[in-house]
Amino acid sequence: MTDLYRVLPDEMDELVKTLRQPRYRADQLLQALYRESPKDVSSMRQLPSDMRDNLSAVGYAVGSASEVHRVVSEDGNTTKLLLKLTDGTLVETVLMQYRSGGKEHPRSTVCVSTQVGCAMGCTFCATGQMGFERNLKAEEIVAQVLCFASILRERGEHVTNLVFMGMGEPLANYTETIRAVRILTHARAFGLGQRHITISTVGVMQGIDKLAEEDLQVGLAISLHAPNDKLRKKLVPTAGPNSVGDLIAATRSYFKKTGRRVTLEYAMIGGVNDSPEVAAELAALLKGNGAHVNLIPVNQTAGGFERPKWKRITEFERILKESDVSCTVRVEKGSEISAACGQLRTDMAKNF
């Protein structure tokens, strides 16, 4: 069985040709898939019934994920879905909406997972603590976005941004992640702007280099978390041969090749990496680098790490800004609905 949601438009043209259908059928098929989110091949009524039968007969289908649980935050701005994949595995995906400037339509950012679990073992991350189960396929990544696309469509809204910041390490599942990006950004498929996508990595060097060579304009975020290797190793035990210096060099080369500035993510953990001394070290490391720092006060997980006191966070921010390091504090949305990476699955897995 091949899921139609992993088929790129060029491949769709080929497929339609092998079914002896005219080329415009490929566009009809793509429109049905990306505008109507059909439940199965037989419900795509724009296509002639013999074509639908043929598609099924040669092994094409749709439907790689179904919603098993939905949680909405009190303010209604964050929605989290727990999806069941065809093999029974559970993945989570989050929608974050930002309403500002009295605009009619909010910014609607979907946060997708790329793996079930993660092999990187970051000590503060719920996904890291699960261990690695498997890579997601492109269609399973696309399905997460489409679940929200159809929820939003009913409200006259649409997905505006996409971040690869859910469960797993996207660059450790490079091929399927990039296939999903190409499908989601292709004008004949989902049509999301490449510049509205950010891929977040803990620092898979080969993946960063490869991504810089792709003809894509996606944003890159690198999860740094510490200004030196000793501290970083405590938080990212599998950081391995990639030093903080290598990551900083990667931000420069990515910018040089793509013209896009890299964001550095810094999960702030009380008593671990939030002191003024660490802030000064980070400021010295990044002075003149041009990268933007996102300070993310950590969400509590089973690892027992605490969010720093607010004063420590603002002090840290002040020290960075004093050295002209651009930075923002990103308070994770939806922490009351366990919206941090891997948390809902950890909480809910026993129920499904």
Please, which residue, 21 or 127, has the CB nearer to ligand SAH? 127
CB atoms within 10 A of CB 69: 17
Beta bridge partners, 279, equal none
> What phi-psi label fits residue 131: left (phi over 0), alpha (psi between -120 and 50 degrees) or beta?
left
Q: Which is nearer to ligand SF4, 166 or 227 (CB)?
A: 166
CB 269 within 8 A of CB 304: no
* Contact criterion met (CB below 8 Å) for 296 and 332: yes
Two tokens at 114? 């790329």
Reduced to 3 states (helix: H, G, I; strand: E, B; else coil), residue 133 is strand
Distance (Å, whole) CA 138 – CA 145: 11
Smaller CB distance to ligand SAH: residue 147 or 340? 340
CA nearest neighbour of 68 among 350, 283, 263, 276: 350
Quick check: 69 and 82 in contact, CB under 8 A?
yes
Q: Using CB under 6 A, which residues numbered 51 to 110 contact ligand SAH?
A: none
Q: Which is nearer to ligand SF4, 168 or 207 (CB)?
A: 168
Can residue 62 be called a binding residue for ligand SF4 (CB under 6 A)? no
> 159 or 221, CB closer to ligand SF4?
221
Query: Does the active-site annotation cover 147?
Result: no
How many angstroms separate the CA atoms of 200 and 304, rounded? 24
Closest CA to 41 of 60, 65, 20: 60
The one catalytic residue in 92, 140, 176, 317 is 92
**Among residues 21 and 93, whose Cβ is nearest to ligand SAH?**
93
3-state secondary structure of 234: helix
Strand-strand pairing, 115-117 and 107-111: unpaired
| Residue 169 touching ligand SF4 (CB under 6 A) | yes
Q: Choose one: 23-31, 43-51, 120-128, 314-322; the region binding ligand SF4 (CB under 6 A).
A: 120-128
Q: Is the dihedral of CA 191, 138, 63, 51 positive or negative?
A: positive
Choose one: 41-49, 184-192, 198-206, 241-249; the region binding ligand SAH (CB under 6 A).
198-206
> How far from chain centre, in Å, is Cα 32?
25
Q: Which does 247 bind (CB under 5 to 8 A by kind): ligand SAH, ligand SF4, none?
A: none
Binds ligand SAH by CB under 6 A, chosen from 242, 251, 299, 346: 299
- Assess 92 for contact with ligand SF4 (CB under 6 A): no
341 among known catalytic residues: yes
Query: Which of ligand SF4, ligand SAH, none interacts with 296 (beta carbon under 5 to 8 A by kind)?
Result: ligand SAH
Return d(Cα 114, Cα 221) in angstroms, integer: 15
Select the span of 12-20, 36-44, 291-299, 319-327 touching ligand SAH (CB under 6 A).
Answer: 291-299
Q: Please tell me whether residue 169 binds ligand SAH under the rule CB under 6 A.
A: yes
Does 251 participate in binding ligand SAH (rule CB under 6 A)?
no
Choose from ligand SAH, ligand SF4, none: what does 298 bind? Cβ within 5-8 Å by kind. Answer: ligand SAH
Q: Which stretch binds ligand SAH (CB under 6 A): 48-56, 183-191, 197-205, 281-289?
A: 197-205
The one among 82, 239, 296, 327 contacting ligand SAH by CB under 6 A: 296
CA 210 to chain centre: 18
Question: Measured between alpha carbons, how far is 26 from 30 in angstroms, rounded to an integer?
Answer: 6
Residues lying near ligand SAH in the complex (CB under 6 A) are found at: 124-125, 165, 169, 200-202, 223, 265, 267, 296, 298-299, 301, 332, 340-341
Just list the catalytic residues.
Answer: 92, 341
Q: Which residues bind ligand SF4 (CB under 6 A)?
A: 118, 120-122, 125, 127-128, 168-169, 202, 341
